[in-house]
Amino acid sequence: LLFAYMLTGLFIRLTHLMTALNAFNNIDIILTPHRQ
């Protein structure tokens, strides 16, 4: 049960990390034309 709980927490953390990376990518795409 504890292992499943840890696995779920890790999965949620990975999901949040991927979402954050996607957000940073979108910000980068939006800001890129202004840098040139």
pLDDT digits (tens, 9 = 90+) for 9-30: 999 999 999 999 999 998 888 8
Quote the pLDDT of residue 36: 60
Read off the DSSP letter of residue 36.
Answer: -
Residue 12 corresponds to which tokens in the numbers above? 């949620």
For the segment 1-11, the average pLDDT, to the nearest whole number, is 94
When comparing pLDDT for 36 and 14, which is higher? Answer: 14
CA 24 vs. chain centroid, Å, equals: 8
| pTM assigned to the model | 0.57
When comparing pLDDT for 8 and 33, which is higher? Answer: 8
Quote the pLDDT of residue 1: 84
